[in-house]
Structure 1
Amino acid sequence: MAIEAPSSRSWSIYGRAEIAERYEVLGRIGSGAYADVYRGRRRSDGLAVALKEVHDAQSALREIDALRALRGVPNVVPLLDHFWRDDGDDDAVLVLELLPSDLAAVIGAARRSGEPIPAADAKQWMLQILRAVDACHRNAVMHRDLKPSNLLISAGGVVKLADFGQARMLQEPSFATPDISPYEQGSQNEPWIPQQYAADETESVKEPRLLSEDDYLRELDGVRAKFTQYDTDKAMSLQDGDASCLATCSTGDIEEDRFQGSYYSCEEAEEGIVGGEEEDLGALTSCVGTRWFRAPELLYGSTNYGLEVDLWSLGCIFAELLSLEPLFPGSSDLDQLSRIISVLGDFDAESCPSCSKLPDYGKITFTKVENPTGLEACLPNRSAKEVNIVKRLLCFDPASRATAGELLSDQYFTEEPLPVPVEQLRVPARDEQDESSPEEWGDFRDLGSDSDLDEFGTMGVTTNEKGFSIRFE
């Protein structure tokens, strides 16, 4: 197998002796805004691994934190090793289990076959995804970028949630730490027990080293101190480059100069400067996630959100699994909101009591939707119970969204047809995807700016006490 020449920004993984000593790098298999992924082989035993070279310090730190907090969870990709230097001269490299497929490939293969995913198969995929998200939320990890391509699948049909570069820990990890090998995990049908472990932050180690909580926090603080300038929630792996429709807009969203400067930019949000005042370190940003799976409160600029943003993304993922088409494929954030409202109805105080607290609510208004399309029309030929699962997640009011734990107890999963055993699931290779697969549509780095407002037809701009309002007819 020929080794692909490294890009200009990824020479370090080939030239780092500590990595070459333990891993053979076989070539790059993926590339994103903040990371490159390489296929590798562990020299000690020949194990195939994925080497993720992360070019953003804060993203790497968050991913390491999250994967450690979730260590031992069967439906989360295991962190096998990592390489990190305090001096910041080299990118962090995470060593992960190499998995051959993802949910995007499953959806793409089914769509090309012309046949829907059978209900029994869909139930098993859903159950595993719910277990992954439930594990995250019970360990206070907010993923913030759930989508089919981040749900990796083993050759045996096990779903493993990956790509925690945008994740946010809502509390410090705990430290009850039995050492469980990622290859010796329990049955998918058995309840999982949250596991965490701690290892030295500043150097790669061959075996996990258990620390007391005090020792771990002391070492972790030393690393974090070097990157506090990033701790206002950078938009790692952000594909579309903006956050809410207005609160972080660029002139690509609204082209007239009179709007420029009315609202702070995404870069200002990342630096913690809002309205001329410095935000507290650790403040959230709406500049997260992939647009098609982004919750309405994020599109309206919320910086005070919680785990519910992951639940909205789950609803979009399940809808795509059932229909084989993306539910809300917006070409811009404004288009995204328009599509959501056209299906679910008006976003107002009745459907979302807290909407008036959103930064951009009242600055953008849409013509009242008399006859919303409804989720039933978007999920033709699917059962009422399948549609109901999606409905319980796609609620405008974040407080009304069903949690992953609640859905795991839904009768839908215990009724005929029962979920197929994991080993009976068909796992297509990523190579089987064609150019029109949903997640290849969804690799949004090439979408460009959100500058096309023609699709909205008539647009009226009026001033109000908050600045101005945009109304789409």
Structure 2
Amino acid sequence: MATPVEPPNGVRSIGKHYYSMWQTLFEIDTKYVPIKPIGRGAYGIVCSSINRETNEKVAIKKIHNAFENSIDAMRTLRELKLLRHLRHENVIRLKDVMMPVNKRSFKDVYLVYELMDTDLHQIIKSSQSLSNDHCQYFIFQLLRGLKYLHSANILHRDLKPGNLLINANCDLKICDFGLARTSATKTGQFMTEYVVTRWYRAPELLLSCDNYGTSIDIWSVGCIFAELLGRKPLFPGTECLNQLKLIVNTLGSQREENLGFIDNPKARRYIQSLPYSHGAHFSRLYPNADPLAIDLLGKMLVFDPTKRISVSEALRHPYVAALCDGRFDVTAEVEVGDLEIDEDLGAEMIREMMWKEILHYHPEGSGIEFEVGV
């Protein structure tokens, strides 16, 4: 539970109060009353809270020492820059970013999101039964949110069950945009960092192809779909080459015409060198699944990205088409600019850029000058 505590050094900042959760100090705006911690990870700790001004429940994520690691700081900055533009029922809403006490030296960042009950990873590994209706509704919402992102030329690049938040009504929201990019980003810089958790990573990423697009997210959706149907990961690779072997063993050995997208000769030779595999039909792997689900899954998990179903085509597929009508065909009104950020930025410049993002939620702070290096 959240325990009220005295501020460090006994100095209380105006507009802030202090709580301890999981032995971590939270210095948060007084309008938020924390309830309990609900999650933790490498990024920090998340707690549920109530906004006393609106009586709304929210989730507060504390990112501790946000500028200590430049890659992590970039991820946070990208998420702030992106979520400010996005408004969709199936994309998590960033409602607030708390104003730091000292703009020149703040280290922790507090993000305030919509509060959800759980995530798809927790549901899949639970003992709760999942009907065809559950799977259909989850996949429909995921595709719907993804179409919105792709309409703005945004690739999520890290879709996995843990990044899909769920509430008691089975509503789904895509979260964690720290690895997202626009398709306008230079592909030469695209591959410079870890992209997509390995089990959900498309073949073109595993093969280090320089050019890739929205189809990488569709592959991830297919992996998530299979995990819903089988209650376990489809391709739980131990490392990159093992991941490729698992994929080829399941999909079958690929004909020459399906390897044209591989622009690296060494990578192509590796695929050609793998032992021949007939593949395993998804109807045998998931004998209790709806035949329409099997058909859609097979169109998502296609080795050649140029032959993979698009998100718009997937939403027209008979498996989910019954859930669609004109109201659900939402596209982004604002096309988000290039999210690429100079990888060589120092902590002070990242802090300044993050401060500018925070001002969109707190325009009252815009009169404060930012002096880098002071």
Shift of 1:144: 1.0
Distance 2:123 2:38 in 1: 19
Count of paired positions: 300
- What does residue 159 of structure 2 align with? 146
Distance 1:337 1:95 in 2: 38
User: Is structure 2 residue 79 aligned with structure 1 residue 63?
Assistant: yes
| Structure 2 CA distance for partners of 1:366 and 1:376, relative to 1, 3 Å | farther
Aligned residues of 2:2 and 2:20 also touching (Cα < 8 A): no
- What does residue 46 of structure 1 align with? 55
Residue 362 of structure 1 aligns to a residue in which SS? Answer: helix
User: Is structure 2 residue 111 aligned with structure 1 residue 98?
Assistant: no
| Structure 2 CA distance for partners of 1:21 and 1:171, relative to 1, 3 Å | farther
- Identical-residue share of aligned pairs (%): 35
Distance 1:339 1:88 in 2: 48
Aligned residues of 1:301 and 1:359 also touching (Cα < 8 A): no
| Structure 2 CA distance for partners of 1:153 and 1:406, relative to 1, 3 Å | same
Aligned residues of 1:145 and 1:290 also touching (Cα < 8 A): yes
| Structure 2 CA distance for partners of 1:331 and 1:84, relative to 1, 3 Å | farther
Residue 391 of structure 1 aligns to a residue in which SS? Answer: helix
TM-score by length of 2: 0.71
Partner deviation per Cα, 1:207-264 (whole Å, 9 max, x = no partner) = xxxxxxxxxxxxxxxxxxxxxxxxx9xxxxxxxxxxxxxxxxxxxxxxxxxxxxxxxx
Residue 355 of structure 1 aligns to a residue in which SS? Answer: coil
Partner deviation per Cα, 1:308-346 (whole Å, 9 max, x = no partner) = 111100000111112222111112222211111100122
- What does residue 168 of structure 2 align with? 155
Amino acid at match of 1:50: A
Amino acid at match of 2:110: V
Partner deviation per Cα, 1:90-114 (whole Å, 9 max, x = no partner) = 23321101101222233234xx35x
- What does residue 341 of structure 1 align with? 248
Aligned residues of 1:51 and 1:94 also touching (Cα < 8 A): yes
Partner deviation per Cα, 1:167-200 (whole Å, 9 max, x = no partner) = 113359xxxxxxxxxxxxxxxxxxxxxxxxxxxx
Shift of 1:403: 1.5
1:246-325 residue pairs with structure 2 within 5 A? Answer: 283-285=190-192, 287-325=194-232
Shift of 1:5: 4.7
User: Is structure 2 residue 91 aligned with structure 1 residue 76?
Assistant: yes
Of 259, 277, 280 in structure 2, the residue corresponding to residue 352 of structure 1 is: 259
User: Is structure 2 residue 179 aligned with structure 1 residue 166?
Assistant: yes
Amino acid at match of 1:371: H
Alpha-carbon RMSD across the aligned residues, in angstroms, is: 2.9
User: Is structure 2 residue 245 aligned with structure 1 residue 327?
Assistant: no
1:71-470 residue pairs with structure 2 within 5 A? Answer: 71=87, 73-83=88-98, 87=104, 89-109=106-126, 112=127, 117-170=130-183, 283-285=190-192, 287-347=194-254, 349-357=256-264, 360-362=267-269, 366-414=273-321
Structure 1 residue ranges, 4+ long, deviating more than 6 angstroms after superposition: none
- Range with bigger deviation, 318-327 or 341-350: 341-350
Distance 1:134 1:119 in 2: 22
| Gap regions ≥5 residues in structure 2 | 4-18, 67-71, 325-374
Amino acid at match of 2:90: N
Residue 76 of structure 1 aligns to a residue in which SS? Answer: coil
Distance 1:62 1:348 in 2: 39
| Gap regions ≥5 residues in structure 1 | 173-231, 233-278, 420-473
| Structure 2 CA distance for partners of 1:355 and 1:170, relative to 1, 3 Å | closer
Distance 2:74 2:255 in 1: 36
| Structure 2 CA distance for partners of 1:311 and 1:84, relative to 1, 3 Å | farther
Distance 1:377 1:169 in 2: 38
Aligned residues of 1:62 and 1:167 also touching (Cα < 8 A): yes
Partner deviation per Cα, 1:66-101 (whole Å, 9 max, x = no partner) = 222222x11111111113666463233211011012
Shift of 1:389: 0.6
Distance 1:105 1:47 in 2: 24
Amino acid at match of 1:345: G
Of 27, 41, 44 in structure 2, the residue corresponding to residue 32 of structure 1 is: 41
Partner deviation per Cα, 1:7-51 (whole Å, 9 max, x = no partner) = 78x64xx23xxx333323444322222343222222323322111
Residue 41 of structure 1 aligns to a residue in which SS? Answer: strand
Shift of 1:363: 5.3
| Structure 2 CA distance for partners of 1:302 and 1:35, relative to 1, 3 Å | farther
